[in-house]
Structure 1
């Protein structure tokens, strides 16, 4: 009777190297945490306050934003104007879009460095980030504005992790708690909460307080952060990751509740979203997404029959 041949040492070495490489890649891409979340989601009861990203379907996919050749970065919804705003970071501009992705107007940005995010604060008031210098710049915008000069604006520099070239990529604002959420892209990936900027009451002293939540940030099973959106109704935060092609819903304690994958075949997508850079939500809970260089998406949750 013939004995089974023993595996050759070289084969075992190569198999070990392959397994180590696969484990390292899984950890780098946060695949194990993502799989564990998906598994646990099968057994957890549905949170009544959840936005439930898993129920959304794409309604507008990869629509080219006509008239824009530069890369768009970030997105915010203006509930007063009922429109969207994005920024371009090559020939720097603030661009107003209709809810169906049409350019309404373009406003030149002077002295803003590398604008990467814009966020609606209140009527005619926004904050724009300068990624490289970690500046937060408060701007005032009205229907007659044709250009904005950073030298004329209230601004502050956080100066956190300045040695990294991965700066501020996303903003979100809680108008009730007066918190400005600021996302640092990665290396390290963090979400700061800035209290006191922009300054609300000129009669009170100017005081800025910055905090972060390491436990929450460690639980984000994505590789980077591109954009943020705060939902006033639920108090939940949405975080967009371009590299992981994923949107995560976080509850008030920073725990992941639901996800929306931007990969082909998920949520009705015919193709994978190439480079998602901006996320916004309107009053009806519809999600808007922009992707470099100039693509526009809309996701909606199907209405339930009564």
Structure 2
């Protein structure tokens, strides 16, 4: 166990066997059944560029996104309408945002892979709670932390490094203690997925959603069964798409299981199971 205080760099890691992916090519009957999802809504956000991540804010029933340069947090409706833009000056390259419940969020600066825990008030003002500079990604600029996924039941935050090499880690965020601890290295999971990169993540129904903009695919991975549960292509002609999703950078889900993806520079997509169309 590692106790990581405010601003403290992590200097050692506990190697943990989280997932055995020898059976990653096997498909389980559990999960979202992404093959049955169809495009429900598509739009472009005017006056927005460099969309870089996405998360569902359950408390407000809206989506939160980031633009990397200039660094800003966006509030979006489930239809992709821009509700608010909040610039942030403490991050240079805002690449990932993830809701941690209530008003708490994790943010990542990909320029230096610094992880920030913040609160976002009802008026969308942002307050820093904690910052954390992990060592495990070294000095990888523009190849640092690219995806985050929050597991509420055990207060676990997954972190993904984009590529060269792809890496996956898991840490525990203890909100009351404002402390990060218990690092597990699961990078061999990334090695087993046959993806060119990881551009976004989410957690839904016990499974990880892993997005790749270079491979133009979304995978659903069951960590307990060590299997790829389902997957979907982001290419034209698949799932109702008339054109390829150009550069998918963020993915999230809402409580009803609808799937949201954002792509650079300003594309917004919502997918749903075919029977709900």
Unaligned runs of 5+ in 1: 1-35
Determine the structure 1 residue equivalent to 2:13: none
Across the aligned residues of Structure 1 and Structure 2, the Cα RMSD in angstroms comes to 2.0
Give the deviation of 1:161 after TM superposition.
3.0
**Equivalent runs, 1:264-275 vs 2, <5 Å:** 264-275=236-247
Determine the structure 1 residue equivalent to 2:72: 93
4+ runs deviating over 6 angstroms: none
TM-score by length of 1: 0.78
Counterpart of 1:303 in 2: which secondary structure?
helix
Determine the structure 2 residue equivalent to 1:285: 257
Q: Which has the higher contact order (CA 8 A, sep 6+)?
A: 2
Cα pair 1:219 1:255 within 8 Å, conserved: no
Indicate the structure (1 or 2) with the bigger Cα radius of gyration: 1
TM-score by length of 2: 0.86
- C-alpha distance 142-266 of structure 1, shift in aligned 2 (>3 A): same
Listed one character per residue, the Cα deviations across residues 196-229 of structure 1 (whole Å, up to 9, x for unaligned) are x3x3123xx9451211224422211110000001
CA distance in 2, matches of 1:207, 1:100: 35
Q: Which has the higher helix share?
A: 1
Counterpart of 2:135 in 1: which secondary structure?
coil
1:208 and 2:181 matched = yes
Counterpart of 2:249 in 1: which secondary structure?
strand
Determine the structure 1 residue equivalent to 2:267: 295
Determine the structure 1 residue equivalent to 2:20: none
Q: Aligned match of 2:129 in 153, 161, 176?
A: 153
Q: Which has the higher strand share?
A: 2
- C-alpha distance 188-67 of structure 1, shift in aligned 2 (>3 A): same
**Equivalent runs, 1:132-281 vs 2, <5 Å:** 132-146=111-125, 148=126, 152-165=128-141, 166-195=143-172, 197=173, 199-202=174-177, 206=179, 208-231=181-204, 233=205, 235-253=206-224, 254-281=226-253
Between Structure 1 and Structure 2, how many residues are aligned? 252
